[in-house]
Amino acid sequence: MEPIYLDHNATTPLAAEVSKAISDALDLWGNPSSLYEKGKMAKNAISKAREQIASMINSHPSEIVFCSGGTEANNNVIWSVLESFDKWKESTGDKHILAHVITTSVEHVAVERPLKYWQDKGRLEVTFVPVDPSTGAVTVDAIMHAFRPTTVLISIIMANNETGVIMPILEIGRALDKYRQERKSSSRLPLFFHTDAAQGIGKIKVDVKELNVDFLVIVGHKFYGPRIGALYVRSLDNDVEYYPMLFGGGQERGYRSGTENTPMIVGLGQAAEIVIKNLAADQNHFRLCRDELECCLEKLFGDSILFNLRVGNRLPNTSSVCISRDGIYNGHELLSRCPFVCASTGSACHSGSKPSAVLIASGLSEEKARSTLRLTVGRSTRLEDVRKAAEAIKKAYDSMTCS
């Protein structure tokens, strides 16, 4: 049987228009920093892509910095905040103050691990705020309760990659206004708001002006683009101080050195253009397919199925499903028995035999976390596909109960 792909939160295939844009841009081989015509052509193509990405999130093109992907962007935000804090600390003469960061207990490892690394190095202190186990989302009150006089960064994932739960970024941004105004009128201690929007873009509306964020991470391969990324930095050069992590030729106005990958940047711009035009239609399609998938699973499994965190605000394409009855059935083994269903048990960045830390932090028991599947639909998913996938999962489950 032809494979049915239900792992779109892990990665998406290149859209046909994106693939063509990349292919055409291979002819733009001139160095964008060069002054002759070939270089100018490449530079103009990059400028157009920057405009497309800015339009997708309602920012100014000058606020977009291209980079290799989400991991680099997230790490660079944390590094930049530390540099800003050290600069402020030097002005005070107090060398013993530590920067404080607020984040959640369900962040992607590209945020969690660098924060823990710098905490272990004694550069900062981190408060990992737990989510509400009934919804899987952090509350605004919990974030604000963790706030300290030394808090310099609030980093909240826009939508969790495993559960699909959408975080209250808009509400947190509004709540931070009070603290931002106080900082501006007194200590001048920097205060930044960062969100990893990898799972949000292409699935829900993302408007940086509404969200009131300082940093927003964009990951191409999550919305049918190439495996590069971009970082939004609010009012770059004027408002938010941003310090590079990579030094070299001074590309991207010195914020991210390295000769630009013109074809991939062009592809990222084209992927953004598709999101601008098709977001509403895509959302409706995702929701239709996901709801049909869940309906089929409910009919087939009855009481043996539990949909994790379905009561809260979640991505339209994502279903986190726990399948268990008389015993506990390992999600990896279940998927191995229906190999033509391409799905996962959690994040592709830390897959393995251990239960998902994100699911446990979201309130699931270890047993339920082990038997959870992450099923995520996409643009090419058909209703027929999700029906077949549900039947295949049930058949695999039955084979496990009989063995």
Residue position matching structure tokens 């992927």: 271
Residue position matching structure tokens 């605004």: 140
Task: Give the angle subtended at the CA of 156 by the CAs of 153 and 161, to the nearest 5°.
Answer: 150
Same domain? 106 vs 170: yes
Query: Which phi and psi angles does 86 have, rounded to 5°?
Result: -60, -35
Same domain? 245 vs 372: no
Q: Are 283 and 365 in contact (CB under 8 A)?
A: no
Q: Which of 259, 258, 260, 269 is nearest to 220 (CA)?
A: 269
- Domains contained in the chain, number: 2
Over the stretch 250-294, which tens digit does the pLDDT of each residue have? 999 999 999 999 999 999 999 999 999 999 999 999 999 999 999
pLDDT (0 to 100) of residue 311:
87
User: Per-residue pLDDT for the chain (403 aa), expressed as one digit of tens each?
Assistant: 799 999 999 999 999 999 999 999 999 999 999 999 999 999 999 999 999 999 999 999 999 999 999 999 999 999 999 999 999 998 887 888 999 999 999 999 999 999 999 999 999 999 999 999 999 999 999 999 999 999 999 999 999 999 999 999 999 999 998 888 888 777 778 899 999 999 999 999 999 999 999 999 999 999 999 999 999 999 976 778 899 999 999 999 999 999 999 999 999 999 999 999 999 999 999 999 999 999 999 999 998 899 999 988 999 999 999 987 655 678 999 999 999 999 998 755 545 567 899 999 999 999 899 999 999 999 999 999 999 999 999 999 998 877 6
**Residues with a known catalytic role:** 349
Tokens of 238: 């004027």
Same domain? 270 vs 285: no
Same domain? 261 vs 364: no
Same domain? 238 vs 297: no
Same domain? 268 vs 305: no
Task: Give the angle subtended at the CA of 329 by the CAs of 292 and 398, to the nearest 5°.
Answer: 65
Final residue belonging to a domain, choices 224, 259, 274? 274
Same domain? 111 vs 71: yes
Final residue belonging to a domain, choices 256, 274, 292? 274
Distance of alpha carbon 191 from alpha carbon 164, whole angstroms = 28
User: Where residue 376 sits, what CATH number does that domain have?
Assistant: 3.90.1150.10
Tokens of 209: 């002006």
Same domain? 172 vs 80: yes
Same domain? 320 vs 268: no
AA identity, residue 190: P
Tokens of 239: 């408002």
Exposure class string for 93-118: b at 16+ Cβ within 10 A, else e: eeeeeebbbbbbbbbbbbbbbbbeeb
Final residue belonging to a domain, choices 274, 294, 313? 274
Same domain? 170 vs 188: yes
Q: Which domain holds residue 151?
A: 16-274
AA identity, residue 242: Y
